[in-house]
Structure 1
Amino acid sequence: MRFFIPAVILLLLSAFIAPFCRRGSLLADRLSLFAGLGGCLCGLAAVIFCLIHPEEALLRLPWSSFSGYIALRLDPLAAVFLLPAFFIACAGLLYGTGYRPTAKQPGTSAWIRFFYPLITAGIALLLTADNGVVFLIGWEIMALGGYFLVVTEGDNEAQQAGYIYLAATHTGTLALFAMFGLLGDEACVVSFPPAGSIPADTPTATAIFLLGLFGFGFKAGMVPLHIWLPRAHAAAPSHVSALMSGVLIKTGIYGLLRLTGFFSTIPAWWGWLVLVLGVVSGILGVLFAIAQHDLKRLLAYHSVENIGIILIGAGAALLGRSHGMHEVAVLGLAGALLHVINHGLFKGLLFLSAGSMIHATGSRRLSDFGGLLQSMPYTALFFLGGAVAICGLPPLNGFVSEWLVYLGLLKAGLDPSNLISGSLILAVVGLALVGGLALLCFAKVFGLAFLGMPRQDLSHVHEASGSMLSAMALLLGACLWIGLLPTTMLPLLDRGIAAWLGTQAEGAVPLAALAPAGYISLAALALIALPVFFLLAGHLRPKGEIPRRCTWGCGYALPLPRAQYSTSSFAETIMKLFNWTMGTVFQIKKPQNLFSPAASFRSHTPDPVLDRTLIPSLTVIAVAATKTRRLIQHGIIGLYLLYSALVVCALLIFVLF
């Protein structure tokens, strides 16, 4: 706790200085920024120290209000989740100085400056909480801070997104209250049980797991509990979206892993349930991302997809523990934990890059972009780096974590003595499908946004400011580090895995022996060396006149911007192929003759859970409630007293008979 407590104090100090920025005070702005950055750096120091020297740091203070303790514990499992939390928060604070400068927008800037470090401190508190009360306090700080950041813009879209987020997060919180109640008083106010200390073969254990999966699944955004995520991520400012997608939703994954670590054994169906939810979330998340026209909603659905990948790794780890396959458990959990870090980095990079595009163009719609490479070359480079990483391609970090998940699934799937091998091979196919569809999606996004001709006047478009580019460079550098040198991460993951396995980690095979990541470094360096070689060869060849010729334009000498591919036309084939799952609505107005100007094509893909199920159901309930109110509310006091008497009589009959 040597650096951790100062980190939390500095983050809180940054938040409490922020309101003075509303008056346009440059001093308050700088003090708030430096306090926030200092808190994040102190937090990173505490996390790295914990992972290098895996000794648990404990803090326990008596708390008479709950007859218990303020109990904090920084162990390697919490440190793995805190590492991207502090790093992304640091990049977000730096990015925010250019995205929402205090001098131009003192009101909203002060609002974000207050809640941004506050939510980071809340996340740090819940990740290190060692009892239920402290965990739920941190959970509520994070949840309420997230709501106020989502509604920052104040428009109707942001307000609706905030209400849905608030309803979803507190529905999950109710389940967590019940879960902690079943865990017992000691877990709530004293300390969490040690790893591997609770038997899992009881109905109570099953109820605890299902309540935890529901509550933490809402926060993680897994299908079908993802209803709040696309709207909230799209409505929030871009560096807030980076924090929510890269850090906030991972607290749900942390809670699920911490909860399952309490049990001595794992029933096989727990692992299967998590694995199936992961495959479904991954496939549906990327399919709905392909269908989006809004850049930030597209990235939000990719968060659902990547939560699915993490759940696939976690499901494999649970199955490994259930069937006594230690290597499968280690590889699956290693892939899940590393993807928690990796997704935070590359999704943060993508949201910050998207924010730069929105800041420059004033639009989130892909159909309004085109040709941005000419005016925003650095943003294009950073977005391309994030796209390569999220598609799981070398030499970026996304490849490494997905490779570990593949190894875990194949290790179990190719074992002839394993009864579950066939089903796990199907999970491999599902994971491969997710990767292929992600590549298709980002080929669409990068091509439509940065290549081709502008679809509207973009003469006002400018490159992002220095602070915004610096934040993106930090995240891209981290993605390259893990992609090129994955061996530096494996020992840190070993310690997080040991904290989850508890006593079962004794005599465990090191991750480096199961996953020879050194070959990835060599392959990644070869991929980088190949284009460098061709560039040098082209530079050193004898100089001469290089002929220039026009490329074949398919008969269009001067094509109009409208003749380019659109978001709908690019995704039309995939949407029709999977329309039985997605329910995409196509609006086609065919031309009446050869020169008809009124032809059009539109597509819209409503969310199947929120737009097709919950909203219609709640609308019916609201209409029925309105009609019922008219029947029973007449404004006559005597009738209300009669209702009360009838209720009392009914209760007496119930108690007596």
Structure 2
Amino acid sequence: MTFSGEPATSLGLLLLAACCQGASGLPLLLRRGSSTAQRAGVVLMAAASLIGCAGALGAVFLPGAGTWLIPSGLPFGRLEVGVDALSAVFLLPVFIVTGCCAVYGAGYWPVARHPEHGGKLAFFLGLLSAALTMVLVARSTMLFLMAWEVMAFAAYFVLTTEDEKPQVREAGVLYLITAHLGALALFATFSLLNSATGAYLFPSPGSLTAAGPIATTIFLTALFGFGMKAGVMPLHVWLPSAHANAPSHVSAILSGVVLKTGIYGMMRVFSAFSDPPLWWGAVVLVLGSVSAVLGVAYAIGQHDLKRLLAYHSIENIGIIMMGLGMALIGANQGWEALVALGAAGALLHVVNHALFKSLLFLSAGSVIHATGTREIDLLGGVSRRLPRTSLFFLVGAVAICGLPPLNGFVSELMVYLGAFHAIEAAVGLAPSLPALAAPVLALVGGLAVACFVKVYGVVFLGVPRSKEHEGGHEAGAGMLVPMGVLAVCCALIGLAPGLFVEVLNAALGDYGGSLASQGVASLVPFSWISILGVGLLLLLALLWIVFARRAARLPVPVAPTWGCGYLRPAPRMQYTASSFGAILVHWFAVLLRPEQHREGVRGLFPGPARHESHLPETVLEKGYLPFLEYLFEKAQPVRRLQHGKLNIYIFYTFVTLVLLLALTSGQ
């Protein structure tokens, strides 16, 4: 192994962190069912997180991180690893989230209570974390694909931890199929990049021209392959079931960091072109807008707490794609400010979404751990039994809605500012496309607030709706501390975003070269954001003190909540997830296709009436599956060739080779 550049301390730390991550599952494999072995694995993952964060920050603040060349003996040449500021922005949430989830998992999924799954989960969770790190430090496209495939298989095995459940197996198979479809597209992408550059390496920013069919094919295959992993609509079909059926801390990793590898791949490939056509940015911007709006619309109609959070992942991936689309349009028009605001907003939202979505999934896991269900309509009054979890979920909800003083507000504001800048600078209809992001973001923000008002009100407020799930107690320190760390990170970025200006500027330089060299400090009022956030916190604290003092002087009678005139109010009279979001779902009924089943009041002596609503996965159930069934039916004659006999398959191979030799011999 050789290295170039400076002493490459940052890269060495990152590779050491990857080794610790990969080894974290070995103690539990060697000593199955041992709580001590599980704690040793957690220590290794926590150490990997600390070492990795140091390496990622070093890549930003210490110039000349260098690259390492690894002899491979493969026909693709030597494998190259390296790190720059763009990789570091994606690596930071990887280490923060995986470290927090490892600590959380020891309390949420203790091996003493899950001896049949503990070793498998720990090993593949460590392997997944190490593969994520290697994906982000790979400079050789072949090494990237190797790590990408390891990441895909490891994610499959952690997703299917409870593989005795049919719905878990179905979610795993769907994920694996889509992961391989995306990987096939990436094989095409990197083969075309090799034909354009002559090397199996990621091209440097701005080194290729976007003119010609090869560049167009690279863009489309990369958009498909990486978009499938990121969960961009309509390529998102694997995401809701995977996030809902995985263990909660695995869902946090899938949503918080695995999805972002798709965004990373797009930024690496797209930034290689110096003059992207306008339609590239338009396509990415439109896909992002559709994902954002429909993602939150689907979320509003969900009854499953984790499936609801999964659809919000699609929404936030859409917001990131909108920023990336702005950056591509800015590169086409030569607008440095639009490139800086779009790309920096997308990068910061990558970090922010990883933090607050992981916080929400861990908080949801605490609720599930206490109550034994993730069905929203069976919950209620959870905040009385889980006050700290309730607070952490509220922090994540405020952040994901893009409200101050938390981090989601900052990154969404940067995308807003990019849209406003486009309104001022654009001439003509086509370059004005980024301006459409402003109303889309406003709509998405309003719908997100409505959705989380529903979730928080139905789950944490009111009274329990089901006797079977009204018990439970607050999570232990091992689960609460990781949630607290993530909540503090959300507040830190929201209150002091200026601390991350240098990180964003360095990443912009590695993304767009000279075109993105304009710093974001002159474009975004970071100091005013901090003043607004601190002022808002002080105002809330003052109001809380005033109302607390007034309440202390008032008598405290105990009585049931007024039941609108009913003499005997019951838990069934509360809002449900369906009734709260019914009007909003109706607005999007043409696209969402909600299903309702009613049994009304009939006859002189009617029986009990009932009403059920269901929001199908329209793209999968109404689009993909009917198309696949059609192909299955039409392929019936071809499938007769599949006998299941090895000698017949060897004969097929022999005939194919003979035909290929005959075709190529005359050339």
Partner of residue 606 from structure 1, selected from 597, 605, 616: 616
Tell me what 1:261 maps to: 271
1:123 maps to a residue whose letter is: L
Check 1:642–1:404 CA distance in 2 against 1; reply closer, same or farther (3 A cut). Answer: closer
Provide Cα deviations, 1:78-127, integer angstroms capped at 9, x if missing partner. 00000101000000000001011122212312111101111111011011
Partner of residue 487 from structure 2, selected from 456, 471, 476: 476
The reply to whether residue 122 of structure 1 matches residue 131 of structure 2 is: yes
Check 1:545–1:275 CA distance in 2 against 1; reply closer, same or farther (3 A cut). Answer: closer
Provide Cα deviations, 1:309-339, integer angstroms capped at 9, x if missing partner. 0000000011111101100110011110000
Q: Is the 8 A contact 2:244 2:307 kept in 1?
A: yes
Tell me what 1:102 maps to: 111
Q: Is the 8 A contact 1:195 1:501 kept in 2?
A: yes
Secondary structure of the residue aligned to 2:425 is coil
Kindly report the root-mean-square deviation, in angstroms, between the aligned alpha carbons of the 2 structures: 2.8
Partner of residue 534 from structure 2, selected from 495, 504, 525: 525
Deviates more, 1:330-339 or 1:1-10: 1-10
The reply to whether residue 407 of structure 1 matches residue 417 of structure 2 is: yes
1:97 maps to a residue whose letter is: A
Secondary structure of the residue aligned to 2:203 is coil
Partner of residue 343 from structure 1, selected from 346, 349, 353: 353
Measure how far apart 1:237 and its partner are. 0.5
**2: distance between equivalents of 1:214 and 1:176?**
8
Q: Is the 8 A contact 2:22 2:129 kept in 1?
A: no
The reply to whether residue 488 of structure 1 matches residue 499 of structure 2 is: yes
Measure how far apart 1:619 and its partner are. 2.4
Check 1:68–1:363 CA distance in 2 against 1; reply closer, same or farther (3 A cut). Answer: same
Tell me what 2:8 maps to: none
Q: Is the 8 A contact 2:91 2:133 kept in 1?
A: yes
**2: distance between equivalents of 1:597 and 1:273?**
54
Measure how far apart 1:368 and its partner are. 1.0
Check 1:647–1:537 CA distance in 2 against 1; reply closer, same or farther (3 A cut). Answer: closer
Measure how far apart 1:591 and its partner are. 1.3
Check 1:634–1:537 CA distance in 2 against 1; reply closer, same or farther (3 A cut). Answer: closer
**1: distance between equivalents of 2:448 and 2:245?**
23
Check 1:268–1:546 CA distance in 2 against 1; reply closer, same or farther (3 A cut). Answer: same
Check 1:152–1:323 CA distance in 2 against 1; reply closer, same or farther (3 A cut). Answer: same
Q: Is the 8 A contact 1:182 1:204 kept in 2?
A: yes
**2: distance between equivalents of 1:581 and 1:279?**
15
Q: Is the 8 A contact 1:314 1:336 kept in 2?
A: yes
Check 1:188–1:81 CA distance in 2 against 1; reply closer, same or farther (3 A cut). Answer: farther
Secondary structure of the residue aligned to 1:512 is coil
Deviates more, 1:226-235 or 1:641-650: 641-650
1:602 maps to a residue whose letter is: E
Partner of residue 334 from structure 2, selected from 324, 327, 330: 324
Partner of residue 408 from structure 2, selected from 391, 398, 407: 398
**2: distance between equivalents of 1:347 and 1:598?**
40
**1: distance between equivalents of 2:663 and 2:43?**
66
1:470 maps to a residue whose letter is: V
Tell me what 1:26 maps to: 35
The reply to whether residue 372 of structure 1 matches residue 388 of structure 2 is: no
**1: distance between equivalents of 2:202 and 2:623?**
38
2:88 maps to a residue whose letter is: A
Provide Cα deviations, 1:362-402, integer angstroms capped at 9, x if missing partner. 11111111111111111111111111110001111101000
**2: distance between equivalents of 1:121 and 1:238?**
20
Measure how far apart 1:643 and its partner are. 14
Measure how far apart 1:587 and its partner are. 1.3
Q: Is the 8 A contact 1:281 1:304 kept in 2?
A: yes
**2: distance between equivalents of 1:124 and 1:598?**
56
**1: distance between equivalents of 2:43 and 2:554?**
55
Measure how far apart 1:539 and its partner are. 5.8
Tell me what 2:477 maps to: 466
Matches within 5 A, 1:268-347: 268-347=278-357
Q: Is the 8 A contact 2:289 2:318 kept in 1?
A: yes
Matches within 5 A, 1:541-620: 544-546=553-555, 552-592=562-602, 596-620=606-630
Matches within 5 A, 1:139-538: 139-154=148-163, 155-184=165-194, 191-415=201-425, 417=427, 419-420=429-430, 422-457=432-467, 458-505=469-516, 508-538=517-547
Q: Percent identity?
A: 43
Provide Cα deviations, 1:397-422, integer angstroms capped at 9, x if missing partner. 10100000000111012336465464
Check 1:474–1:205 CA distance in 2 against 1; reply closer, same or farther (3 A cut). Answer: same
Secondary structure of the residue aligned to 1:587 is strand
Q: Is the 8 A contact 2:248 2:364 kept in 1?
A: yes
Tell me what 2:64 maps to: 55
Check 1:335–1:416 CA distance in 2 against 1; reply closer, same or farther (3 A cut). Answer: closer
2:419 maps to a residue whose letter is: L
Check 1:654–1:464 CA distance in 2 against 1; reply closer, same or farther (3 A cut). Answer: same
**1: distance between equivalents of 2:106 and 2:409?**
32
Measure how far apart 1:193 and its partner are. 2.0
**2: distance between equivalents of 1:633 and 1:31?**
49
Q: Is the 8 A contact 1:58 1:71 kept in 2?
A: yes
**1: distance between equivalents of 2:317 and 2:644?**
51
The reply to whether residue 86 of structure 1 matches residue 125 of structure 2 is: no
Check 1:193–1:571 CA distance in 2 against 1; reply closer, same or farther (3 A cut). Answer: same
**2: distance between equivalents of 1:92 and 1:584?**
35
Secondary structure of the residue aligned to 1:374 is helix
Q: Is the 8 A contact 1:180 1:187 kept in 2?
A: no
Secondary structure of the residue aligned to 2:67 is strand
**1: distance between equivalents of 2:529 and 2:556?**
40
1:241 maps to a residue whose letter is: S
1:211 maps to a residue whose letter is: T
Measure how far apart 1:253 and its partner are. 0.2
Check 1:207–1:467 CA distance in 2 against 1; reply closer, same or farther (3 A cut). Answer: same
Measure how far apart 1:537 and its partner are. 3.5
Q: How many residues align?
A: 652
Deviates more, 1:35-44 or 1:185-194: 185-194
Provide Cα deviations, 1:6-28, integer angstroms capped at 9, x if missing partner. 11111122133331242x23332
Check 1:628–1:267 CA distance in 2 against 1; reply closer, same or farther (3 A cut). Answer: closer
Secondary structure of the residue aligned to 2:25 is helix
Measure how far apart 1:424 and its partner are. 2.9
TM-score (norm 1): 0.93
Measure how far apart 1:56 and its partner are. 3.2
**2: distance between equivalents of 1:372 and 1:544?**
27
Measure how far apart 1:599 and its partner are. 1.2
Q: Is the 8 A contact 1:568 1:603 kept in 2?
A: yes
**2: distance between equivalents of 1:441 and 1:594?**
40
Provide Cα deviations, 1:26-56, integer angstroms capped at 9, x if missing partner. 3322222211111111101101111222433
Deviates more, 1:226-235 or 1:606-615: 606-615
Measure how far apart 1:287 and its partner are. 0.7
Deviates more, 1:221-230 or 1:102-111: 102-111
Check 1:646–1:536 CA distance in 2 against 1; reply closer, same or farther (3 A cut). Answer: closer
Measure how far apart 1:511 and its partner are. 0.9
Measure how far apart 1:510 and its partner are. 2.1
Secondary structure of the residue aligned to 2:71 is strand
**1: distance between equivalents of 2:663 and 2:341?**
59
Secondary structure of the residue aligned to 1:351 is helix
TM-score (norm 2): 0.92
Measure how far apart 1:623 and its partner are. 4.0
Q: Is the 8 A contact 2:171 2:241 kept in 1?
A: yes
